[in-house]
Amino acid sequence: MAIDSVRQNTHSPEQEAGFFAADRVDHSHGWILPRLEEGRIVVSERNVHSSLVYQGIVGSLGVDRVAQINSAALVPDLCIWVDCDPKVAMKRIQSGTLRMMSDKEEYFETTDLQEKIRTGYRDLLSGKVEMPTPFDMGAIIGPVSNESTEKEFIRKLTIHIRKFVHSRPSPLNVDTESVERYMLKKLISSNKGQTTLYGLGVEPNLKRVDWLDGSSPWKVLNEAQKLHTSAMNNIASQDRNDVPQSVLAHSLSSICATLSQMPSADVNELRNSQGPVRAVSDSHSHKVLRFLADESNWVHQHKSLIGRDAARNQLKNEFHPFGNLILSIWPLRKAIKRWIRKNPKTHLRFAIGQIIRSEEYPREVKHTLERLKILGNGKSKAPPPSSPKELISWWQGK
């Protein structure tokens, strides 16, 4: 109905805007959102900004009215503003570059209207026209010129998108922790039954129940930190720059935690299983894995003698308790790290209790309890903690 309205110019601007808004809401919640909740990245060639320009600025409705009609749609995390001279654009349209096998001719494809549209985008995305709520929450990069070669255009996009992703923005439409739990369940499910790693000479110990090996959580963390500090002290100071001092640091925690749920993995498999919360860059993953294999001896690294297969990494059995523990307490990881720094002389077994009683991290405590429902409490067949009080007892090994 929206496309027919554009082709035939038979409906009022308000009706046309309604058709596009209905299509966008259906697409947002029926197609895009389920994929965001699975940790995927969704790229759309157009979104609500097109309606704000076409119907709000170039049309007669105004941006506030168009925003109101589209208010139920998702808010794009990032808008990439691509700019092109209308004359160049029209040549592409007329030559079939943008039409592929289609022969449709939409009424706004004239040079005059393209000029107005380009000005509309410039006014909206530059801030000259105020971006209406809630669509002012998303990031905007550009203008990115698309008037030269495709190779040059890709190069520019790569620079801008990489900078945005490296800033680790919080997503607007999904809770990253719910995405993380979804991916964690998927990771555990996909590796069930995989107990032997052929060609490595060892069997991975993927314990699903007694993963604490009879120890208390705080003791597991404390022992891991001691071993890591000892390994760090045995290498030259200039070689320590690539490896964090604390086992609670993001890269070290992520790699050990993820490997604890996998029989073995090369770097690509490891990174694919990390998801948006535990993501570590390719280069840094290689550096940390090299340290874990060569210096601290936490990881067994198997390199194929035949062909050029990537090295496979396996977390050694004695460090699975630490990996599972980090996955469980990941939401509280930064709080624990901060507590250790502020309380260097206080025993680690009191950390969770004092963090909970401070009432500064209720969301993180809730998320930790949710994770323990998935991973279990690490002891025989006892139920996982279900309250902050029980979480304190679990941490202390009671």
Q: Going residue by residue through the chain, which has 398 residues, state the pLDDT in tens, using 9 for 90 and above.
A: 878 877 777 888 888 889 999 999 999 999 999 999 888 889 998 899 999 998 999 988 999 999 999 999 999 999 999 998 888 877 777 776 555 544 444 544 567 888 899 999 999 999 999 999 999 999 999 999 998 888 999 999 999 999 998 888 889 999 888 888 888 888 888 776 554 444 444 444 556 678 999 999 999 999 999 999 999 998 876 666 678 999 999 999 999 999 999 998 999 999 988 877 888 989 999 999 999 999 999 999 887 655 556 789 999 999 999 999 999 999 999 999 999 999 999 999 999 999 999 999 999 999 999 999 999 999 877 899 999 999 999 999 98
Q: Could you tell me if 105 and 6 are in contact, meaning their C-beta atoms sit under 8 angstroms apart?
A: no
| 221: its two tokens | 């963390």
Q: Each residue of 316-365: pLDDT tens digit? A: 999 999 999 999 999 999 999 999 999 999 999 999 999 999 999 999 99
Q: Each residue of 49-100: pLDDT tens digit? A: 999 998 999 988 999 999 999 999 999 999 999 998 888 877 777 776 555 5
Q: Each residue of 200-213: pLDDT tens digit? A: 444 445 566 789 99
The reported pLDDT for the residue numbered 355 is: 97
Comparing C-alpha atoms, which of 273, 297, 234 is closest to residue 285?
273
- Residue 261 CA, distance from chain mean position: 19
State the CB neighbour count (10 A cutoff) for residue 286: 14
CATH architecture of 2-166: 3-Layer(aba) Sandwich (3.40)
Q: Where exactly are the structural domains of the chain?
A: 2-166, 176-396
The reported pLDDT for the residue numbered 40 is: 86
